Amino acid sequence: MQREGRLLFCSQRNRWNVHGVYDKPIGLHCGECFEIQVGQSYLLCRIELDKEWYVVLSNSTIFHLSPKAIYNVKGI
């Protein structure tokens, strides 16, 4: 069973954290892979940082993350 959690942005550290998987939130680093929910489906992705944080989906599509949004993730 894959662990599921929520991806939230921490403006103090300019980093995306995963909540609800471990006892405390964990920060993600560039290059980490997981699945993100888009609509009703979970898609494999890799998180990266340029001027803004984004994820690269398995078909090389880039999806920019909104710091005000909360994303469901699994496989963390």
Where are the domains positioned within the chain? 4-74
Q: How many residues does the chain have?
A: 76
- The class (CATH top level) of 4-74 is mainly beta
Confidence of residue 69 (pLDDT cuts 50, 70, 90): very high
Query: In which band, very low, low, confident or very high, does the pLDDT at 30 lie, cut at 50, 70 and 90?
Result: very high
Conformational region of residue 13, where left means phi above 0, alpha means psi within -120 to 50, and beta covers everything else: alpha
Residue 2 predicted with pLDDT over 80: no
pLDDT at 76: 85
Q: Is residue 67 classed as helix, strand or coil in its secondary structure? A: coil
